[in-house]
Amino acid sequence: MLNITKYVNALPYKSSLSPGHLKLATIGKQYYGVPYLADLSVLWYNPKLFKQAGISGPPKTFSAMLQDAKKITALGHGDYGLSFAGDCQGCLGFTMLPSIWASGQHLVNGPLGKQTANIAHNAPLKALLGDYHQIWAGKMAPHADLAQNGSTWGDDFAKGNIGMLPGDYGFVTTYLKSMPKSEFADAPLPGENGGPGSTFDGGDDFVIPAGASNPSGAWEVVQWFLAKSQQEQYPALGDTPVRSDILTPSFLGKYPYDAVALHTLKYGSVEYTLAYNELFNAPGSPWYKMFSEAVYDGNVSGALSSGQASFESTLTSADS
């Protein structure tokens, strides 16, 4: 890949670009890519059920999310407080990791080649897994979540009997077509003790191959896509912009759901590691084993201990 540091640094809107996308395109202090489009995670919630349960707004802390789930489940009539993709390791990382980042922690620390696992003594991680276990054990989530592999993720929320769904912002296209607007809204994924929340900076980056025959022409194309006039068209196409500076009052009025995701973009992050797929997305990954032991089996402390060991082993293999 071509080193494009001087071009990125010259962009007048560099500070408004998605930080997570930029981080993944960085080695040391050198840039090898820039954001293209964002695929962000949010907390979907049902305002109608919240009102019925006497809840004034979406949760901003872990404890509030747990209490809200209890109140909504207590409504009866087949209502559940929260739903999650319980057999989709990638979905769980996409929606749970931002709450850890919003709490000031990551699961992987250090520079490439010298990375360490931050699992066993990660207080926000322990708290979040513990709350998910309470939700699961208290039957505040549908039993079908156990087998939800992502293929129909989000469909149960569209039926109107789920209070909260940590999910993909992209679900908005389905909800706009199938749900009354009084039954869905989005919010940032909450941190343990409050704050602005966070999101998973998913999506795509632009890169220019090293040895490209026309790198200056390629950079012109990149700048065209990053221009405001193009970025402002992303929501209508089902995508989220990668520039937070286009979040104007007119944008908010036209795209209120996307505005929530875009506002959270500057607080978003990623796990900066070459071993992400092996740690989180692969079948039987250390992340999913830890989640299953903690949430389904209720052994949170044991899950963190074994998770520390398996994360360290995977990172060591990736660094060697």
Q: Does residue 296 register a pLDDT over 80? A: yes
Q: What number is the average pLDDT over the span 58-63?
A: 98
Distance, in Å, from the CA atom of 319 to the CA atom of 48, rounded to the nearest integer, reads: 49
Q: Does residue 201 register a pLDDT over 80? A: yes
What is the predicted pLDDT for the residue at 1?
A: 85
Residue the block writes with tokens 């995670």 = 41
* CB neighbourhood size of 100 (10 A): 24
Would you place residue 200 in the very low, low, confident or very high pLDDT band (cuts 50, 70, 90)? very high
Beta-bridge partners for 240: 38
What is the predicted pLDDT for the residue at 171?
A: 94
Q: What is the pTM of this model?
A: 0.94
Element at 313 (helix H, strand E): helix 300-319
What is the predicted pLDDT for the residue at 230?
A: 93
Contact 40, 105 (CB under 8 A): no
Q: What number is the average pLDDT over the span 81-91?
A: 97
Hey, what domains does the chain have and what are their CATH numbers? 5-40+201-265 (3.40.190.10), 43-199+274-319 (3.40.190.10)
Closest Cα partner for 112 from 319, 309, 270, 313?
319
Cα-to-chain-centroid distance, residue 209: 28
Paired tokens of 121: 């003594």
* pLDDT, tens digit (0-9, with 9 covering 90-100), for 221-241: 999 999 999 999 888 887 889
